[in-house]
Amino acid sequence: MDTFADGATLDSNHMPEHGVRVNLSQSDDLSCNNNDTVTYRHDVRVNLSQSDDLSCNNNDTVTCRHSVRINLSQSDDLSCNNNDTLTYRHSVRVNLSQSDDLSCNKNGTVAYRHGVRVNLSQSDDLSRNNNDTVTYRHGVRVNLSQSDDLSRNNNDTVTYRHVSESIYHSQMIYPVTIMIP
């Protein structure tokens, strides 16, 4: 077991004292703060905790935080709040939970929250309320449920909510009103 000048220890399996597994690459700056919990990966600032698994895939860009899979990019700021559940992706504030899948597409803008597909943009604020179901998109307050599909059209302004209650016709949605006698 190796002991560093700051008192941190590293065993033969390369496990740091905080129980966080880290794969190193030349682009990683693992110089940490006093309590050895801050690191930079690909210019992304990361606060480490025992619940973080920073073991990454081949190109060293995938991590899991609180069982949430995250693709890292230079535009992601993974520095988190005290309970280590806040992150910023492309200037979008996101509260993480185990039900969130932030594994993203190639341009890093698609996420899934509670089974709801969400396209992220800089105008989206995904910081949620206590039960993690409220979001604001372009200044519009939206309550999310598993039946909501927030995948948007090209200009990110169209959504489908409870599509089982709508009829599609030529790219338009016509709400169905059911009259009960």
**According to the model, what pLDDT value does residue 140 have?**
60
Q: When comparing pLDDT for 94 and 8, which is higher?
A: 94
Q: Cβ distance 54 to 41 under 8 Å?
A: yes
* Predicted local distance difference test score (pLDDT) of residue 103: 58
The identity of residue 162, as a single letter, is H
Statement: residue 173 has pLDDT above 50: no
The label of the residue with tokens 């050895």 reads 36
Global pTM? 0.37
CA atoms within 13 Å, Cβ hemisphere of 138: 10
Residue-wise pLDDT for 55-80, tens only, equals 544 445 566 666 666 666 655 666 55
pLDDT band at 165 (very low <50, low <70, confident <90, very high): very low
Cβ(37)–Cβ(47) below 8 Å: yes
Which pair of tokens denotes residue 17?
A: 């004292």
pLDDT higher than 50, residue 169: no
Q: Which burial class, exposed, middle or buried, applies to 92 when counting CB atoms under 10 A from its CB (0-12, 13-18, 19+)? A: buried
